[in-house]
Chains A and B, each alone.
Chain A
Amino acid sequence: MENWINDLKSSLKNTMKEILYPLAAIVISFIAGAILVYAFGKSPITAYKALFFGALGDWNKIGETLVTTTTLILTGLSVAFAFRCGLFNIGAEGQFIMGGVAALWAGWALSGLPPILHVTVTLLAGALAGGIWAGIVGWLKAKVGSHEVINSIMMNYIAMNLSNYLIMTVFNEPDKAFSYEIAPTAKLWRFAESFVQFKYSRLHTGIIIALIVALIAYYILNKTIRGYEIRAVGFNPSASEYGGINVNRNIILAMVISGLFSGLAGGIQTAGVQYRVNNLFGFTGYGFDGISVALVGNNHPIGVILSGVLFGALQKGGPMMQIEGIPKEVVGIIQGIIILFVASNFVRVMVQKYKENKEIKAQVAKGEVK
């Protein structure tokens, strides 16, 4: 019993430690943003007030923030999961797009299915498409050794153009630059149907799905044999190989699972938010934002949830700042600074340097030799 409590204590302590550094980076970034706003001749207080109320000012705004958060959590999980296997899945964007298209097809072609089944199949189709899209990259890496970053970037372009082609031909709503709509049975339930507070928001059950998926990802990574192998390969493929782990199989599997998450994000975008797919002039950015979300969330599923909320809020609060006369680009700059600080491990390195110096000085002062 005592053991169990100690375990919990130490794991909580570890978690706190892991959260502390990104948190400090975020605070520093907001300060930097404030200085920037001040330099533009505006009040930082007004700016951040607008940002806050724009994102979380009322239930509808919270709802809209959570809509974005849902997508970001899933693409963030996708990048984080692959990263744990030592893979940089920069192709979350393409997998997201393919997931959206596959869900569109299932949401329309399979109409007639009972409501709950139909929406489930629609989302699964999205996830599967993303999984296949990422799996191709994983397979190429395992079999030919070609780098996943290059291949997944290329797969992003293929996905976007393939999606656009399908939208403008087979799935086209006549004379429109988007597809037809999916069947009502394929749509995710919206909170607005039962809660007046969310009347003007598109908040849907996808957020619950995203949270459950985060827990599943955590469980797979940290509690299962598969997760053990995936992390082992991510840290040290040579030792894993000696440990009887099939490195190639795990690379492919990690990519497929990663793709499932991004594909699901795309499916949810179709079934919960847009009900159709637009002809894209450029990337949606959700997949790329997933990289930032994963990074700030320290590639940990729980961290990804938190950073997904942060990035969702930043994106939704930005336009409100615009109304106050502060360029919404400030939000982009703050996002950039956060990532810069987190990626460079700035806070951690500074704290460590400080500690080391102190330790050496203390040792020298005491004349203590170890």
Chain B
Amino acid sequence: MKGIGKSFPGVRANDDINLTVNHGEIHVLLGENGAGKSTLMNILYGLYNPDEGEILVKGKNVKISNPNVAISLGIGMVHQHFMLVPPFTVAENIVLGSEPQKGLALDMDKAISDVEELSKKYELRVDPRAKVQDISVGMQQRVEILKTLYRGAEILILDEPTAVLTPQEIEELGIILKSLVSQGKSIILITHKLKEVMIMSDKVTIIRRGKVIDTLETSGTSIEELAEKMVGRKVSLTVDKGEAEVGEPILQVKGLKTLDNRGLEAVKGVDFEVRSGEILGIAGVDGNGQSELVQTITGLRKTTAGDISIKGKSITNLSPKDVTSSGVGYIPEDRHKRGLILDFPLSENTILGIHRSKAFKKGFGLDYRKIREYSRKLIKEFDVRTPNERIYAKSLSGGNQQKLIIARELDRDPSLLIASQPTRGLDVGAIEFVHHRLIEQRSKGKAVLLVSLELDEIMALSDRIAVMYDGKIVGIVDAKDATELELGIMMAGGRRPEEH
């Protein structure tokens, strides 16, 4: 790819980007959220048309106007969110879009034998007859990879492939990628996780604010160097926190059970407590009941059994309003859906939840002058970058939106702060801010419940780590003694990882 440029309103997403991927190499595209990696790959896959620049595949200048062209050129993409049909079998999913036919009918036998052959060739073991909804996430990813191979992909693009995997599955993925490369495929890996770059790749290209900063041989670089190039300044990768001064239990959860949206049991009897002055991290692969657990504590979901209490007082099945006033602050995992009203100005967002308080009342109405004053105060204290408090929440960047939510929740001085994936989609600066605030709560003697899919985050911040699998807490370990291997095994349900 030569001199690629692409603009969106107000941003130059790609600016004169040059990227060369050699035959048989694993090339990582490293950059923060919003750096322009996905834009670049979407251009290569034909989802966007570049404003400038040219793309050469095997030395030939090509114009990739849509994904079909990309596929015919041997370019395949595995998206971060899998594009599979859950009730279909593995084989059906793999042949989808280029089904072998016998007359007018689908030749299922051929599809199955094709898939078996393919999976043998690339050592990607899958059961062609299993339904996608019944197999593990790691297995689903293999199906996605096979799908691209079935369509004759020579160049595979993987977008954040490790986001949904346990550490063991990540390791397996590394082996799979190596074997693909040894058979002559080329792989482009999009990620922002530095450790994986070091383990998996041959070369790495760092992108920052739409520009290529550098391309390096992985063997000749270090995590520290990559981090600095990615962010543009020196970053400390470790979180500095003193010893925990643990006090009384603040949150106690006993035998908690609840259902998910489909009416299936999502939390199957969970016991734990969070004490003042500590951060309890809940680790686990996405979809093991963490979201439902948090929603139950915050009053957004009803329990079917068990008890939740704050400082010894039961808050089981109270309304969100009553839970909040019992001293619980909540940073929701989906800030657009739960955290903010995007079409409200910042000022009205800062009073959400306390809008009934006497402080903002004037006669029959709300005292908008006071509301604006209050929000200006929060904006200043929490360094929310905004021209003023009258603009709509939707026009803030993700990091600033999160700052606004944190400001709102922390200003109520909660004794328990629940942070659900608080750094998802944020850049390094904002992540540092969030971590700093969580640690600050802990030093103030508050209890913090941190739920995150990023194991590194959990390990860096938590004092104790609870691992959730299949709606249960598999175990709670002291963060000081926890190893990634041990946690990884627990995240997979305590079983030994599959042999390979």
Contacts and interface: CB of A to CB of B under 8 A. Distances in A.
Interface of A: 10, 219, 223-225, 228-229, 231-232, 235-236, 238-246, 356, 359-360, 363-364, 368-370
B216 interface: no
A229 B338 contact: no
Contact of B341 (A224, A236, A360, A364): A236
B9 A231 contact: no
Contact of A242 (B322, B353, B364): B353
Contact of A10 (B320, B355, B390): B390
Given A235-B343, A244-B353, A369 B337 contact: no
A137 B390 CA distance: 35
A199 B178 CA distance: 93
Contacts of A364: 7, 51
Contact of B337 (A231, A238, A246, A359): A238
Contacts of A245: 321
B12 A363 contact: yes
A364 B365 CA distance: 49
B103 interface: no
A245 B320 CA distance: 8
B11 interface: yes
Interface string B314-353: 0000011110100000101000011111111000100011
A242 B366 contact: no
Given A241-B300, A363-B7, A369 B366 contact: no
A225 B341 contact: no
A192 B83 CA distance: 71
A248 to B, nearest CB: 12
Contacts of B339: 239, 242
B341 A240 contact: yes
A239 B10 contact: no
Nearest to A4: B369
A195 to B, nearest CB: 35
B76 interface: no
A242 B344 contact: no
Contacts of A359: 9-10
B366 A229 contact: no
B10 A236 contact: no
Given A235-B343, A242-B300, 12 more contacts: A228-B366, A235-B341, A236-B337, A236-B342, A238-B338, A239-B352, A240-B341, A242-B339, A243-B352, A244-B320, A244-B356, A360-B9
25 contacts: A10-B390, A223-B366, A223-B368, A224-B365, A224-B366, A225-B355, A228-B348, A228-B366, A231-B344, A232-B341, A232-B348, A235-B341, A236-B337, A239-B338, A241-B300, A242-B330, A244-B319, A244-B320, A356-B9, A360-B9, A364-B7, A368-B12, A369-B15, A369-B210, A370-B12
A236 B392 CA distance: 14
B342 A225 contact: no
A224 B319 contact: no
Interface centre among B210, B298, B365 (most CB of A within 10 A): B365
A370 B11 contact: yes
Contacts of A238: 337-338
Contacts of A223: 364-366, 368
A48 B337 CA distance: 49
Nearest to B323: A244
Contact of A219 (B11, B300, B322, B365): B365
CB-CB nearest 7 A-B residue pairs: A244-B321, A223-B365, A243-B352, A243-B353, A235-B343, A369-B12, A356-B9
A235 B339 CA distance: 12
B343 A241 contact: no
Nearest to B5: A364
Given A223-B366, A232-B352, A360 B7 contact: yes
Contact of B332 (A10, A232, A242, A360): A242
Nearest to B7: A360
A231 B341 CA distance: 10
Contacts of B340: 236, 239
Interface string B425-444: 00000000000000000000
A239 B356 CA distance: 16
Interface in B263-319: 298, 300, 319
A85 to B, nearest CB: 13
A2 to B, nearest CB: 14
A245 B319 CA distance: 9
B9 A228 contact: no
Interface in B17-38: none
A135 B166 CA distance: 51
Contacts of B11: 370
A224 B338 CA distance: 23
Interface centre among A223, A244, A246, A364 (most CB of B within 10 A): A244
B12 A224 contact: no
A232 B343 CA distance: 9
Contacts of A368: 12
Contacts of A231: 344
Contact of B344 (A232, A363, A369, A370): A232
Nearest to B408: A243
B408 to A, nearest CB: 10
A228 B353 CA distance: 11
A229 B355 contact: yes
A256 to B, nearest CB: 18
Contacts of B319: 244, 246
Contacts of B10: 359, 370
A369 B11 CA distance: 7
Contacts of A360: 7, 9
A232 B345 CA distance: 11
A335 to B, nearest CB: 29
Nearest to A357: B9
A246 B353 CA distance: 11
A357 B324 CA distance: 46
Nearest to B361: A225
A369 to B, nearest CB: 4
Interface centre among A232, A239, A240, A359 (most CB of B within 10 A): A239
Given A223-B368, A360-B9, A370-B10, A242 B343 contact: no
Contacts of B344: 231-232, 235
A350 B364 CA distance: 42
Interface string B364-380: 11101000000000000
A225 B332 CA distance: 24
Contacts of A242: 298, 300, 320, 330, 332, 338-339, 353
A239 B320 contact: no
Nearest to A219: B365
B62 to A, nearest CB: 24
A246 B320 CA distance: 10
Interface in B242-278: none
B402 to A, nearest CB: 14
A244 B324 contact: yes
Interface string B383-419: 0000000100000000000000000000000000000
A229 to B, nearest CB: 7
Contacts of B366: 223-225, 228
B390 A243 contact: no
Contacts of B330: 242
Interface string B86-124: 000000000000000000000000000000000000000
A23 B11 CA distance: 31
B455 to A, nearest CB: 27
Contacts of B342: 235-236
Contacts of A10: 390
Contacts of B337: 236, 238-239
Contact of A243 (B12, B320, B322, B343): B320
Interface centre among A219, A228, A231, A242 (most CB of B within 10 A): A242
A330 to B, nearest CB: 37
Contacts of A246: 319
